[in-house]
């Protein structure tokens, strides 16, 4: 029982990270039809920006350092994504494959630059004392970081849903996902929505970068890429363009992965997630959810 | 005229192992030396591999992110059969051939249920599964992170050892020519024309009464099979398998090669593969020169990362030279 509780919450934590990456990917794809390979680069750059900021504030208490790192990561992710959209995606407005290719080049270049600048060894992150401990839930000692990650993902989910359902920009984004040409025909500037969605996606990826650092205790240059691939899987299983679908799929994938990695051999969980994807595609080629939020 | 130039170039390349002189700056050591021949052999293999990728990406318009999987199939199945099971080389090659038809047939059948970008994501996911499988070292077969050195006890003697690099070089050259011929025949055959029609307008092909799915699957399997053949040549040249070839980054590198050379042209893809591999190798050498090492960190770090330079080059090409090197050359020399 304790093992199950531990695996469940750890899996939910992992799913929370996947969700933070996948939500942005899914919206970007839904609105702009861009498969954003640079999302892993946003994640990595933001994590290193946050880590550097927390290093600069070396004298402050770990709580302040951690919060500062988190804030810097969110800002860095958002800023990097906005720049990417304006400088690289926008000039290739009519060339979808070109847009994908540019994000591929950006991902390769950025991650190798981070690797060259900071080295490929993992960097330890300064965490507040209460985050290094555990909490007893259902008899299991759950590391507190798992709960922190889950709480942040829930907050982001709530904010995104509020944004999409209750604000004017959210309405434009949802309409754009549904039928972009129609929104443009109504005289609405979709271009601004593109930039906004990229900024939000980048900020969420940046948050994920720092929270992944919190979850694992370290950051390294390669994690963004490996998490990105699972986030892609989450996006497809959840249905492209759907935030709720991504949330559900992220939980399923994260929990499944944890359980099978524990009860099967190492790597079986990762492997079965791909199998799950294949099964979903065979049964429902459009993913589980077709709605726009 | 063009045929004469082509035949001349082939003769020069075939005779290269006998060259005793060197080209300083371009290659270290003499041209016929094992180091240069190994590098050139790898360039040929990557040229051929880029060509196989261009078959699906450039001619059918399928943006596959899983091509590394089929290359790795050639590398690992042969390596395991020869090294772990001590099969003879022909038996190992037969097994590799069977696997490299069956695997893309099954996976392609699933992946091709999706189109465009979802297709790209699904192929990426399957390739990642392959990468995980290799990294996990199941039954001690793949050697995991360490890779797998090719054991020599059943290998023919003419394929082993530094002195025999020239044989491997010739194998790579023949492979490149063979794959070029197969690809050329394929894209100019009736199914090849349907591939290009699918790239332009898939729905229209379906309306005409052809089944695009079957044509796409055919192209997918052919391209994957040829990629596996490249994998075998790579294995022989490298003398072992390394998990690097299974990763998503490797597929992305293939994409860079094809776009670098020019999408949808056979010789452009070959050029892209050769240039990429050459730059990748030489840029590492460049970063170790004293001139680069003496630079301040802000310049030294980017210059020491070949992938950074290639990534930036790639972005610039996509933004400003959509036809790649091949397209730019063709505009200069209207044939």
Q: Does A115 sit within 8 Å of B305, measured CB to CB?
A: yes
Q: Does B110 sit within 8 Å of A225, measured CB to CB?
A: no
Cα separation, B49 vs B42, in Å, equals 10
Could you read off the pLDDT of A115-161 as tens digits, one per residue?
888 988 998 888 888 888 888 887 888 888 999 999 999 999 999 99
* CB-closest option in A35, A113, A274 to B302: A113
Query: Checking phi first, is residue A240 left (phi over 0); if not, alpha (psi -120 to 50) or beta?
Result: beta
pLDDT tens for chain B, 335 residues: list them. 677 888 888 888 887 777 777 777 677 777 777 888 888 999 999 999 999 999 999 899 898 988 999 999 999 999 999 988 888 889 999 999 999 999 999 999 988 988 877 788 788 888 888 888 888 888 878 887 788 888 767 777 777 777 788 888 999 999 999 999 999 999 999 999 999 999 988 999 999 999 999 999 999 999 999 999 999 999 999 888 888 888 888 888 888 888 888 887 888 889 999 988 888 888 877 777 777 777 777 777 777 788 888 888 889 988 888 777 777 777 666 54
Which among B27, B3, B2, B25 is positioned nearest to B16, based on CA atoms? Answer: B27
Residue pair B258/B57 in contact (Cβ under 8 Å)? The answer is yes
pLDDT tier, A290 (very low <50, low <70, confident <90, very high otherwise): very low
Query: Is the predicted pLDDT of residue A293 greater than 60, yes or no?
Result: no
Q: Does A108 sit within 8 Å of B256, measured CB to CB?
A: yes
Interface test with B, best of A119, A278, A288 (most B CBs within 10 A): A278
- pTM score of the predicted model: 0.86
Give A118→chain B minimum CA distance, Å.
10
User: What's the confidence (pLDDT) of residue B3?
Assistant: 78
Which among B15, B75, B26, B31 is positioned nearest to B49, based on CA atoms? Answer: B75
Which among B53, B50, B198 is positioned nearest to B116, based on CA atoms? Answer: B198
Would you call B12 exposed, middle or buried from its count of C-beta atoms within 10 A (0-12, 13-18, 19+)?
A: exposed
Residue pair B231/B78 in contact (Cβ under 8 Å)? The answer is yes
Q: What angle do CA A112, A116, A118 make, to 5 degrees?
A: 115
Q: Does A33 sit within 8 Å of B315, measured CB to CB?
A: no
Which among A183, A281, A196 is positioned nearest to A239, based on CA atoms? Answer: A281
Give A202→chain B minimum CA distance, Å.
19
Residue pair B209/B49 in contact (Cβ under 8 Å)? The answer is no
DSSP one-letter string for chain A: -HHHHHHHHHHHHHHHHHHHHHHHHHHHHHHH----TTHHHHHHHHHHHHHHHHHHTTTS-HHHHHHHHHHHHHHHHHHHHHHHIIIIIGGGTT-HHHHHHHHHHHHHHHHHHHHHHH-SS-EE----GGGSSEEEETTEEEEHHHHHHHHHHHHHHHHHHHHHHHSHHHHHHHHHHH-HHHHHHTT--HHHHHHHHHHHHHHHHHHHHHHHHHHHSEE-TTHHHHHHHHHHHHHHHH-TT-HHHHHHHHHHHHHHHHHHHHHS-TTHHHHHHHHHHHHHHHH-TT-S--S--
Q: Does A98 sit within 8 Å of B318, measured CB to CB?
A: yes
Residue ranges of domains in chain A: 2-283
Could you read off the pLDDT of A57-73 as tens digits, one per residue?
877 888 888 999 999 99
Collapsing DSSP states into helix, strand and coil, what is residue B139? helix
Count of Cβ atoms closer than 10 Å to residue B60 Cβ:
26
Query: What are residue A143's phi and psi, to 5 degrees?
Result: -60, 135
Q: What angle do CA B158, B159, B160 make, to 5 degrees?
A: 95
Interface test with A, best of B128, B276, B284, B298 (most A CBs within 10 A): B128
Average pLDDT over every residue of A178-207: 90
Pairing of strands B148-149, B240-241: antiparallel
Query: Checking phi first, is residue A187 left (phi over 0); if not, alpha (psi -120 to 50) or beta?
Result: left
Residues of chain B contacting residue A28, judged by C-beta atoms under 8 Å apart: none
Name the β-bridge partners of B240: B149
Measured between CA atoms, the residue of chain A closest to residue B114 is A285
Cα separation, A279 vs A276, in Å, equals 5
Could you read off the pLDDT of A33-55 as tens digits, one per residue?
888 999 999 999 999 999 999 98
User: What's the confidence (pLDDT) of residue A288?
Assistant: 63
User: What's the confidence (pLDDT) of residue B181?
Assistant: 94
* CB-closest option in B121, B252, B307 to A236: B121
Q: Does B252 sit within 8 Å of A88, measured CB to CB?
A: no
Give A68→chain B minimum CA distance, Å.
25
User: What's the confidence (pLDDT) of residue B7?
Assistant: 85
List the beta strands (DSSP E) in B238-315: 240-241
The token duo for A227 is 């998490």
Residues of chain A contacting residue B63, judged by C-beta atoms under 8 Å apart: 97, 100
For the A2-283 domain, the top CATH level (class) is mainly alpha
Cα separation, A241 vs A259, in Å, equals 28
Residue pair B187/B52 in contact (Cβ under 8 Å)? The answer is no
Cα separation, B8 vs B42, in Å, equals 21
Residue pair B219/B87 in contact (Cβ under 8 Å)? The answer is no
């Amino acid at each position: 029982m304790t093992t199950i509780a531990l695996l469940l919450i750890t899996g939910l934590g992992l799913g929370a990270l996947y969700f933070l990456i996948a939500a942005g990917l899914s919206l970007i794809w839904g609105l702009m039809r861009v498969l954003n390979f640079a999302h892993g680069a946003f994640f990595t750059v933001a994590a290193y920006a946050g880590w550097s900021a927390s290093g600069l504030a070396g004298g402050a208490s770990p709580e302040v350092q951690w919060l500062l790192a988190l804030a810097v990561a969110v800002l860095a992710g958002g800023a990097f994504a906005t720049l990417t959209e304006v400088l690289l995606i926008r000039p290739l407005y009519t060339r979808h494959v070109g847009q994908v290719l540019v994000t591929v080049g950006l991902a390769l270049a950025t991650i190798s630059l981070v690797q060259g600048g900071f080295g490929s060894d993992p960097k330890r992150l300064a965490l507040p004392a209460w985050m290094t401990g555990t909490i007893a839930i259902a008899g299991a000692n759950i590391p507190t970081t798992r709960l922190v990650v889950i709480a942040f993902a829930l907050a982001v989910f709530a904010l995104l849903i509020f944004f999409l359902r209750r604000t004017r920009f959210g309405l434009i984004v949802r309409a754009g996902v549904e039928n972009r040409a129609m929104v443009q025909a109504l005289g609405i500037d979709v271009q601004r929505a593109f930039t906004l969605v990229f900024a939000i996606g980048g900020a969420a990826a940046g948050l994920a970068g720092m929270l992944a650092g919190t979850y694992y205790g370290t950051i390294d240059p390669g994690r963004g890429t490996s998490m990105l691939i699972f986030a892609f899987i989450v996006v497809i299983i959840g249905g492209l363009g759907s935030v709720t679908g991504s949330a559900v799929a992220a939980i399923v994938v994260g929990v499944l992965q944890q359980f099978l990695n524990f009860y099967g051999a190492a790597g079986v969980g990762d492997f079965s997630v791909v199998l799950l994807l294949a099964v979903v595609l065979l049964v429902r080629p459009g993913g589980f959810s077709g709605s726009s939020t | 005229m063009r045929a004469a130039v082509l035949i001349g170039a082939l003769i020069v390349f075939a005779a290269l192992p006998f060259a005793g002189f060197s080209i300083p700056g371009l290659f270290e050591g003499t041209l016929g030396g094992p180091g240069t021949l190994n590098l050139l052999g790898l360039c040929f293999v990557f040229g051929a591999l880029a060509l196989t990728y261009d078959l699906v990406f450039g001619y059918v318009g399928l943006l596959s992110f899983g091509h590394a999987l089929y290359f790795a199939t050639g590398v690992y199945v042969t390596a395991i059969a020869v090294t772990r099971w001590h099969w003879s080389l022909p038996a190992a090659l037969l097994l590799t051939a069977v696997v490299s038809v069956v695997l893309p047939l099954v996976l392609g059948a699933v992946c091709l249920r999706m189109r465009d970008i979802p297709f790209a994501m699904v192929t990426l996911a399957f390739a990642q599964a392959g990468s995980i499988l290799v990294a996990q070292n199941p039954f001690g077969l793949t050697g995991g992170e360490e890779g797998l050195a090719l054991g020599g006890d059943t290998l023919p003697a003419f394929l082993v050892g530094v002195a025999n690099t020239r044989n491997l070089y010739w194998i790579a050259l023949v492979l490149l020519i063979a794959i070029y011929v197969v690809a050329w025949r394929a894209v100019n055959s009736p199914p090849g024309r349907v591939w290009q029609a699918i790239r332009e307008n898939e729905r229209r092909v379906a309306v005409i009464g052809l089944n695009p799915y079957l044509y796409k699957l055919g192209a997918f399997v052919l391209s994957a099979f040829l990629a596996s053949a490249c994998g075998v040549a790579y294995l022989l040249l490298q003398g072992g398998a390394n998990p690097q070839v299974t990763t998503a980054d490797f597929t992305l590198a293939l994409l860079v090669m094809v776009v670098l050379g020019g999408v949808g042209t056979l010789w452009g893809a070959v050029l892209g593969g050769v240039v990429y591999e050459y730059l990748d190798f030489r840029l590492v050498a460049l970063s170790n020169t004293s001139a680069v090492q003496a630079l301040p960190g802000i310049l030294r770090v980017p210059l020491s990362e070949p992938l950074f330079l290639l990534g930036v080059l790639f972005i610039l090409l996509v933004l400003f030279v959509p036809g790649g090197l091949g397209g730019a050359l063709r505009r200069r020399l209207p044939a």
